[in-house]
Structure 1
């Protein structure tokens, strides 16, 4: 039985554009597809991909929105045949303003202007045919291997991503580690990242999420403070950024630091456009309240770039990052296999040793009274010696032992 192929979907940014063009909110679109608004937000940001029936319904709805947008553009754009003839006709000269020129009939030759010189009436000599130019053969581009493509992406985006992540965390080692972990995740999902329209954005979103994770506070490294920037102005700006809430700080760095537009910033932070705009305004107000000189967005953008560039933040080599990612993947794979084997063994042992029939519980014991206490070991008394001799002298078997008799 063959499985039919999944319907294609436009890129995440195109999905968001179609929804906003149709004037639909994420809640309205989620109700039409039958999912939650958070799921639609994840689809539009590219974090998850719909599957199964939800993918079919989502693709059908996006196709309907795209057809409506195409029809709306067609109705708004004037057809070239409906344009006035005066726009396409050449402007008449001063001598022909009174009467328009007559068009020649199909069987009549084209009219020759009277004022044209005789030299223009003679046919021009045809050029002699020469050898056709042979196009130069260009060498075909050599396709890159996955490792080479990953190394090129790392060398292009890693230095800038380390500086941007430093603005979010204020810690140099944490910024380097976040970027390396993000690239390791990209190498694990390389087929998906290689086909993405913005692979640097994919890595940037992963690095920011790792850097701003609340679990970072529990690490021993987070408890040891790092030396602040040497410049007092950079130190004040960095402290101001770290006082902002993580979401506001991330929105400010993406918009004023990286230079993304508002819809892209909203999509990367998994928020709506009005929410991203509100966070940006709140962050700018907080920065301007402590540093009035940075109230201008252009000045703020320049100062953020200077703060990130003043710190010497290097990145590891791409082959080292790939090697660490592969070793980490092998370790977790072996750990998962070992855990699965232990779980299977424990289950088998439980099934083997489990009772197969009902065993009634043992009744509780009852105290027996009237039994004399056991005497300690020692020499026998006279009565005990007499009783022992009497028992030894009598027969050990027979009815005489059971029948009572008088002495």
Structure 2
């Protein structure tokens, strides 16, 4: 506690956690719980911060052993979450994340009562340490996966926070990808909640806006590949979330909203807007296949062919990607348009060949 170096104090706290994993099981270390309580309730900020950090470390390796004292910890956390100007709030959220899979009916009400304060703390972290904010949002993932009942009463503001983060271009990619990925995950998990609470329109609108934004990997279209999940750019994450929307939400609810964005974007003349439109229709091709085949295929193929002939490389590549997705998911109907598609593709391939020949001769 009196160690002046924070790195040393943190190392000691981690060592305490390893010992606690073995000693608390047999009840051999009652002084540790007394120490934690004393530190967490201290009026001295560094002591309070250390106490919460010890709880976060011990709960990560010996959460089961602390479970009998969870209600008391939750009561203490109500005050440490208010300390948003110090790391105490962040470490409190870490501890809550560790405890989340262990919460039973007897502690559910107390745990749920802390979630509004968690949201406030994360908003504060966004202005100070985006990496900590992103790590704190792991709590939402754990609750959705393990104890979604804990999250449901506060799911609407959690989703709104993620929508706000995803659309804030002043924030870094890590925290934005974290927010966007959660939106896709919760759509797969709670599609009825999304529909009942009329969240399809704001969700699709937010993802389309991100899809239309500039990305460092635009030149090589890296956002079109890769595995689903976190990582990559916000554009890639938004594409995956649109895919989740198409797979889990009714097409008659999803497509009208999406097409209201796609049509003006295709007519805008702005390459990134057009790219976003092609990316969006490409990512919903699998989930909305039947509706697209029967109601939208011909006009969309015309738009795609127009994009393939564009002089802008980003637009061309985006249109080609959309055509590839359509060819994979909209069979056999798309084959009927071979007379329209093949000349466009052959012309494109001829241009690519001529360009490569010219480069070699230069």
Structure 1 length normalisation: TM-score?
A: 0.18
| Greater C-alpha Rg | 1
Q: Which has the higher contact order (CA 8 A, sep 6+)?
A: 1
Structure 2 length normalisation: TM-score?
A: 0.19
Q: As a proportion of its length, which structure holds more helix?
A: 2
